[in-house]
Structure 1
Amino acid sequence: MCRNHEPTPFAELNAVLAELAGRAAAILGADFVGAYLQGSFAVGDADPHSDCDFLIPVHRQVTGEQEAALRALHDEFPTRPDYWAKRLEGSYPVLAELRTLDGLGRPWLYVDNGWREMQWSTHCNTEVVRWSLRECGVTLVGPPPSTLVDPVPASVLRERMRADVPGFVTEMESWISFDLAWAQRYAVTTLCRMLNTYVEGRVTSKRAALLWAQTAVDPRWRPLIERALVERDLGWDPDERPSPGSVGETLEFHRYVQGRMS
């Protein structure tokens, strides 16, 4: 078994992750495969505003008893005063479903960032998560992630981006409003990441995608991208409104990105 004693730059988060992995292993017993980070803490540029995306693969679907214990575990974490205990997001995938793309569409036991109630969801069951885990995953405990997931071809990532970009704005508006400055910045950043994945055939960090887009897109979009880059450290503020005209520019940028993939 492979252990990483300092998986993140944040001591408090490392303690939370060690507890998560240990308690999950105790609950799952022989069904426990390992515990890993993907997302920002794997592909790079994670900061105090980042979610901490984890995967804890299991050899078989969790039993009713195991599910009840995991639900109790994740119900308790967000009630703590610790900042990072409220930032966990991840799934418990069945290893056979995680290994290949044939497992796409299968729901896994999942907890959303800051939520106390788990759900069965396909949120983490994507091509991007598989690529991020295999190529960049951080091992908390368990075998190397490259031994758990088959390679995800660049062509598969490109097709996923081409399929997802047209409905991106509609999907986003189903869970957040563009009246929030955070949402406007998130949209610009995510569109840059999607375009970068389409062009490069790999997954990169939010910051790296914004830096790449400054020179990779039409110059007229550079001010929009530079603002998102400068303001990304502001984090979540429910009272902050987007700068005048930025939402309209963002919607136009969405159409531009979609055109680049057509």
Structure 2
Amino acid sequence: MTVYPELNQLLQELTSAARDLLGDSFAGAYLQGSFALGDADLHSDCDFLIPVHRPVTEAQESALRALHAEIPARPGFWTQHLEGSYPLLADLRTLDGLGRDWLYVDHGWREMQWSTHCNSEVVRWTLREYGVTLAGPDPKTFVEVVPPEALRARMRADIPRLLPDLATWVSIEMAWGQRYAVTTLCRMLYTLAEGRVCSKKAALLWAIDALGTKWTELCRRALDGRALGFDPEDAADPVVVTRTIELADYARALAAGDTVTPW
């Protein structure tokens, strides 16, 4: 499943527990995100989807909430880094199901919530094209194709909102937040250009080549800085923060068609 034995064991336990709790409503278990796209490392979270045939009942929801409250209390590294949802299988069969709430657990959290977080074009595309099957049928048999223009349309809508959305949970004046902003902008611009999804590392390497020399140093710093991980005491260089805001403005102009695309 992955190159990390501890994570593999945890995923087996999660899949088995979910199958037991959901019974015949369990439709499968899959990895999406970095572990599907490649380039996952110890700084990645592990994104899962466990589809269900029928809406989760109150009893099932209670049991799943207890499970995901207990997992982060276990010893180990990867118990702190799971993130995922329990989508209704019917929602995945059609793009009409986009934007509906699924039972979701955020990265490292112990409390689940109902959220649209995983119900996006990007997640569906990744699941269908590169999803790692832990249990169940091939995702291509039940996930509708996400066309390139649907991905591009989502980027046009999301790029202008990126920095305001980030500000609700992390500051780009923190070094990790600044690197995250640059990396996410590069992933969005890659999808806008190519009509597909790629990993964080691949997006930064693409941006270094595709966006022009003006942004090379900023993107290279984000790529090299990934190994530094999350440190809330590590402040970003104010000059780099300014350049990050300029990149966001540039991306917004590209998304709006207000400037000639460099690729």
TM-score bracket, normalised by the shorter chain, equals over 0.9
What is the alpha-carbon distance in structure 1 between the residues aligned to residue 172 and residue 216 of structure 2?
A: 20
> Which deviates further from its counterpart, 15-24 or 211-220?
211-220
Give the aligned partner of residue 253 of structure 2: 259
Instruction: Give the partner amino acid of 2:101.
Output: P
Shift of 1:118: 0.4
The answer to whether 1:129 aligns with 2:123 is yes
Give the aligned partner of residue 246 of structure 1: 240
Structure 1 residue ranges (4+ consecutive) displaced by more than 6 angstroms after TM superposition: none
Post-superposition Cα deviations, 1:107-128, rounded to whole Å, max 9, x if no partner, equal 0000001100100000000000
The answer to whether 1:165 aligns with 2:142 is no
Give the aligned partner of residue 211 of structure 2: 217
The answer to whether 1:89 aligns with 2:122 is no
Question: Is the Cα contact below 8 Å between 2:173 and 2:238 reproduced in 1?
Answer: no
What is the alpha-carbon distance in structure 2 between the residues aligned to residue 123 and residue 110 of structure 1?
A: 8
Aligned-partner SS, 1:236: coil
Structural mapping, 1:174-253, within 5 Å: 174-253=168-247
Instruction: Give the partner amino acid of 1:9.
Output: V
Aligned-partner SS, 1:166: helix
The answer to whether 1:141 aligns with 2:135 is yes
Shift of 1:238: 1.1
Structural mapping, 1:17-166, within 5 Å: 17-166=11-160
What is the alpha-carbon distance in structure 1 between the residues aligned to residue 76 and residue 57 of structure 2?
A: 30
What is the alpha-carbon distance in structure 1 between the residues aligned to residue 26 and residue 58 of structure 2?
A: 15
What is the alpha-carbon distance in structure 1 between the residues aligned to residue 120 and residue 54 of structure 2?
A: 19
Aligned-partner SS, 2:238: coil
Shift of 1:102: 0.4
What is the alpha-carbon distance in structure 2 between the residues aligned to residue 38 and residue 233 of structure 1?
A: 22
What is the alpha-carbon distance in structure 1 between the residues aligned to residue 133 and residue 120 of structure 2?
A: 19
Shift of 1:89: 0.3
Question: Is the Cα contact below 8 Å between 2:71 and 2:79 reproduced in 1?
Answer: yes
> What runs of 5+ residues in structure 1 fail to find an aligned partner?
1-6
Aligned-partner SS, 1:222: helix
Tell me the TM-score normalized by structure 1. Answer: 0.96
Post-superposition Cα deviations, 1:131-187, rounded to whole Å, max 9, x if no partner, equal 000000000111011112011000000000001101110011011112210000000
Shift of 1:218: 2.6
Tell me the TM-score normalized by structure 2. Answer: 0.96
What is the alpha-carbon distance in structure 2 between the residues aligned to residue 224 and residue 33 of structure 1?
A: 43
> What runs of 5+ residues in structure 2 fail to find an aligned partner?
257-263
Give the aligned partner of residue 3 of structure 1: none
**Identity rate, percent:** 61
What is the alpha-carbon distance in structure 2 between the residues aligned to residue 85 and residue 148 of structure 1?
A: 29
